[in-house]
Amino acid sequence: MIHKIWLSFILTAFIATCAQALTGAGSAGFEQVMTAVSSMAGLSVDIAIGLIGVLAFWLGIFEVAEKSGMIQKFARLLSPLLCRIMPQIPRDHPSLGSITMNLSANVMGLDNAATPFGIRAMQDMQKLNNKPDTLTNSQILFLVLNTSSVTLFPIAVFLYRAEQGAAQPTDVFIPILLATSASTLAGVLVTAMVQKINLFDKVIVLYAAAIFAALTAVVLYFSTLAADQLASQSSVVANFLLLSFVITVLLAGYRKKLNTYELFIDGAKKGFEVAVYLIPYLLAMLIAIGMLRASGVLDYVSDILATLVAMLGGDTRFVEAIPTALMKPLSGSGARALMIETMQFQGADSFAGRLASVLQGSTETTFYVLAVYLGAVGIKHARHAVVCCLAADAAGILTAITVSYWFFG
């Protein structure tokens, strides 16, 4: 599936560029596409290099956590749920701990911390894979949970809105939470249908009720805060929890009389190896995405959508933010740039500016996640992973538009 999508991106970009030249729209498109290829090639290396330090640090901490027994303790919290939605994973398998850590980091909006845990989770699950070049059901569901991850603290979106002069940068907090929750729910439901997972199992129902109650409590608490308090408190909570985890891991290793320094070094060494290994996979996907964007295909799709909505008599205000929605599954940096561009042109507190912010926080960068995580374990066949991830993306986008009209319309 991935190789077909990759090839379709490149061919679509080529055909669109040729069409522009033949219709007299200009031959500069070829130069723009090739410039995008060079730019994305450099970006893939920059991303990998940027990941080295983060990967090295967190894989070092993870090594200490694993040897001290901390990961096993985290795994026990979610193992009853994970073992039912991922029945291929044994109850005491190490991957349950790394999955738990990855999901926890995503919930707190700590993308840099989540990636190393996610890579480790994929590597752990790969040890159970009888077909090393093909995703297992468990790996697919894990990818869906990552690309649709519920984010309680979208700090980056708040900061960008503040930079663009939003009167209340955090007024998109609850819409983002609703959109990302809908994305996760849809992704899990679609994947469960394909994999025939029984979601009415009493353990799954109990965990779902507890998670829903926790989300409701968070929404109610943060909705009582003033706008200037919301961003600061969410940032403090996220970073406090993260730093507390690091200190707890190191103290647990010390109590077990482990050489935490040597363990950290051993784990950190793997960070460089993983980052270098990711470069070809990032290179392939980012080049295809860059060509698609430079060819003008995404702008063309937005224009068609605006025309259709206008013909049906619908409100076309949301179309101004659609480029962010279309770019988000393809490129995080591209979507971020489009969000900022929308806020600059339309205004940070305009409907389009707020909607673009909600769209930016509603889902993860699907194809980036797939490229990184599949690349980390050398998997070539994604099976139904792409379809399930995109279904989650679609639910997040539709919910983002709906709740934005509700809150800001």
pLDDT value of residue 173: 79
Percent of the chain with pLDDT over 70: 88
For 181-197, the DSSP string reads HHHHHHHHHHHHHHHT-
pLDDT value of residue 99: 86
- For residue range 260-300, list pLDDT tens digits in order: 999 999 888 877 777 777 678 768 777 877 787 788 887 77
Give the residue carrying structure tokens 């930016």. 360
Q: Cα separation of 24 and 29, whole Å?
A: 11
pTM of the model: 0.72
Q: Stretch 191-196: mean pLDDT, rounded? A: 92
Above 90 in pLDDT, residue 109? no
Above 90 in pLDDT, residue 191? yes
Above 70 in pLDDT, residue 237? no
> pLDDT class for 402, splitting at 50, 70, 90?
confident
Q: What is the CA radius of gyration of the chain?
A: 21
Give the residue with greater pLDDT, 6 vs 13.
13
pLDDT value of residue 139: 93
> pLDDT class for 111, splitting at 50, 70, 90?
low
Give the residue with greater pLDDT, 242 vs 18.
18
pLDDT value of residue 91: 80
Above 60 in pLDDT, residue 394? yes
- Of 42-46, 80-84, 334-338, which gets the smallest average pLDDT? 334-338
Give the residue with greater pLDDT, 66 vs 128.
128
CA angle at residue 103 from 98 to 104, to 5 degrees? 95
Q: Stretch 47-61: mean pLDDT, rounded? A: 77
Give how far Cα 314 sits from Cα of 187, 317, 326, 356, Å: 28, 9, 20, 19
Q: Stretch 77-88: mean pLDDT, rounded? A: 84
pLDDT value of residue 20: 82
Element (H, E) at 297: helix 297-311
**Roughly what angle, to the nearest 10 degrees, separates helices 111-126 and 95-107?**
160
> pLDDT class for 226, splitting at 50, 70, 90?
low
Above 80 in pLDDT, residue 392? yes
Q: pLDDT averaged over the chain?
A: 81
Q: Cα separation of 118 and 147, whole Å?
A: 11
Q: Cα separation of 324 and 191, whole Å?
A: 25
> pLDDT class for 227, splitting at 50, 70, 90?
low
Q: Which residues of 342-370 are buried (b: 16+ CB within 10 A; e: fewer)?
A: bbeebebbbbbbbbbbbbbbbbbbbbbbb
Give the residue with greater pLDDT, 231 vs 33.
33
Q: Stretch 373-378: mean pLDDT, rounded? A: 86
**Roughly what angle, to the nearest 10 degrees, separates helices 111-126 and 366-377?**
40
pLDDT value of residue 206: 92
Q: Which residues of 274-294 are buried (b: 16+ CB within 10 A; e: fewer)?
A: bbeebbebbbbbbbbbbbbbb
